[in-house]
Amino acid sequence: MNAIVQYRYGSPDMLELQQVDKPKAGDDEVLVRVHAVSVNPFDWHMMRGKPYLARTQAGLLKPKNNIQGADMAGRVEAVGKNVTQFRPGDEVYGEVKQSFAEYVCASANRIALKPNNLSFEQSAAVPMAGLTALQGLRDKGRIKQGQKVLINGASGGVGTFAVQIAKSFGAEVTGVCSTANLEMVRSIGADHVIDYTAEDFTDNGQLYDLIFDLVGTHSLRSFRGALTTNGVYVMCGDIGMGNWIGPVTGLFKVILSSMFRSQTMTPMLAKVKQTDLVFLKELIEAGDITPVIDRTYPLSEIPAAIRYLEQGHAKGKVVITIPHSDL
Ligand SMILES: NC(=O)c1ccc[n+]([C@@H]2O[C@H](COP(=O)([O-])OP(=O)(O)OC[C@H]3O[C@@H](n4cnc5c(N)ncnc54)[C@H](OP(=O)(O)O)[C@@H]3O)[C@@H](O)[C@H]2O)c1
């Protein structure tokens, strides 16, 4: 099968299209014929092996897995002997390991049936960004109907889901993005938009019950100043990202700054949960969320897709299509 492989950490130049063996499903796994994947900042962190702390899991000097990639949507081709939930032919989506390939073996608990009303391309855009937005707002942010919620970084992969999910919980949503994306963020449901090139949301007199931060643009003191008395700040994107321990610095700062205060400042790390993939599928089928897709590339152009994402200004998600010649 075709796959994008990588033998050394480094830039997208390390990624090559190669023929590799098709994987075989283990007892608790599902073999999926992949029709689309999407790229996330996580993929370029793994590609570069940065922050270096990540290498304790991913391989110290070179990647343990030669194929990267997490999000995918496709059709089940075979199931392991312990898998009862899926059968060949099912159309699924999920967050797996090694998805930059024509086939992937996925643990059954990392996938779910894909939304009926979405294509494979749209479905592949959902898992990591959608799970992060859902868990950040609902679990960490404890979002409630009628709250004022601000999404910092509203036009990116996670942000475009966060705006729509926050609306589905009945919040009054403010999206922060650049001038070129104001209309798009409004069109997906934001009640208010703030152009960060023209206005500083921490300095305009408005207070928010929940700030979901995907960018880390301000000091924690400034974020705190934009929260209501019992407001919650969820740190999801980069704060204090360094090459060595990366977000860990930010985590400590956030935890320390939360002590002895009525406001909550909390870091988050999204987890793959099948129940949440099902929750997202239901929101999508109810018409509450539609993935925003910026660009699509073929499998061979994953290096170009990652180069684009690394610039940090994607408008929604960047998706990779994987046509199969026999279809
Ligand atoms: N903690 C977790 O579990 C977790 C999970 C997933 C992702 N993340 C992190 O979350 C962050 C966002 O991920 P993503 O997939 O949404 O990334 P993305 O698709 O690359 O989006 C980045 C967005 O940031 C916006 N941006 C850049 N500078 C900004 C500024 N000064 N103010 C406001 N917005 C700004 C850009 O909007 P403009 O083009 O309009 O500038 C762009 O839309 C990344 O750091 C990622 O690593 C964390």
Q: Which candidate, 47, 129, 114, places its Cα nearest to that of 317? A: 129
Q: How far apart are CA 94 and CA 111, in angstroms?
A: 4
**In the chain, what are the domains?**
2-126+291-321 (3.90.180.10), 129-267 (3.40.50.720)
Q: Is 214 left (phi over 0), alpha (psi -120 to 50) or beta?
A: alpha
The packing angle between helices 127-134 and 274-285, to 10°, is 90
CA 8 from centroid of its chain's CA atoms: 24
- At 69 the pLDDT is 97
- Residue 70, ligand 1, Cβ within 6 A: no
CB–CB of 38/319 below 8 Å?
Answer: yes
Tokens found for residue 68: 């990267």
Residue to substitute in 177, 235, 268 for testing ligand 1 pocket (most ligand atoms within 8 angstroms of CB): 177
- For residue 181, which atom of ligand 1 is closest to its CA? 40
Q: Express each pLDDT in 36-57 by its tens digit.
A: 999 999 999 999 998 888 898 8
- For residue 45, which atom of ligand 1 is closest to its CA? 47
CA 185 from centroid of its chain's CA atoms: 17
Tokens found for residue 214: 């995907």
- For residue 217, which atom of ligand 1 is closest to its CA? 31
Per-residue confidence in pLDDT tens, the chain, 327 aa = 999 999 999 999 999 999 999 999 999 999 999 999 999 999 999 999 988 888 988 899 999 999 999 999 999 999 999 999 999 999 999 999 999 999 999 999 999 999 999 999 999 999 999 999 999 999 999 999 999 999 999 999 999 999 999 999 999 999 999 999 999 999 999 999 999 999 999 999 999 999 999 999 998 899 999 999 999 999 998 655 556 555 566 666 676 666 667 899 999 999 999 999 999 999 999 999 999 999 999 999 999 999 999 999 999 999 999 988 766
Q: Give the number of other Cβ atoms within 10 Å of residue 323's Cβ.
A: 10
Q: Whose CA is nearest to atom 13 of ligand 1?
A: 158
pTM of the model: 0.95
